[in-house]
Amino acid sequence: MRHDTVVKSLGGFSVGDGGISLSKDKLACALKGLAAAVLGLALAGCAGNANGGDPGPTALSAGETCPSIRSDLSRLDKEGVPALVERQNAGQKLSAAQKAKADLYNRLLDKYLGARCHV
């Protein structure tokens, strides 16, 4: 008994030794369905990320307010700390006290911007 090629056909689908083949109408229908599914997934992904991935404002610690942080930043501005921050970012050496002030300034600025105090 010889088993060369067994072909079964059902509604435009053919299964044989070469795999599954589709008639032109069924292929067009399958591609349209695939395109619709991809579009649906893309739209669902966009809907879930409507704010562009922005986590929103961060909460301030107890006792901290936007005006109090702004006041601390202004005081450090008057002391010339932004220049220290620039020197630190450029890789220049700072004393321990200067580094502490530059780090404090960066922390306060991160809090101020993260809490959206500037908006």
Q: Is the pTM of this model over 0.85?
A: no
Q: State pLDDT tens for residues 93-106.
A: 999 999 999 999 99
Res 41: pLDDT: 64
> Distance between CA 32 and CA 19 in Å, rounded?
21
Q: Which two tokens stand for residue 5?
A: 């090629």
Q: How far apart are the first and last CA of the chain?
A: 83
What is the residue extent of each domain of the chain? 66-114
> Distance between CA 13 and CA 7 in Å, rounded?
10
Q: State pLDDT tens for residues 15-59.
A: 566 666 667 777 666 667 666 666 666 666 555 556 677 777 888
Is 12 exposed, middle or buried (CB count within 10 Å of its CB: 0-12, 13-18, 19+)? middle
Residue from 78, 112, 106 nearest 94 by CA: 106
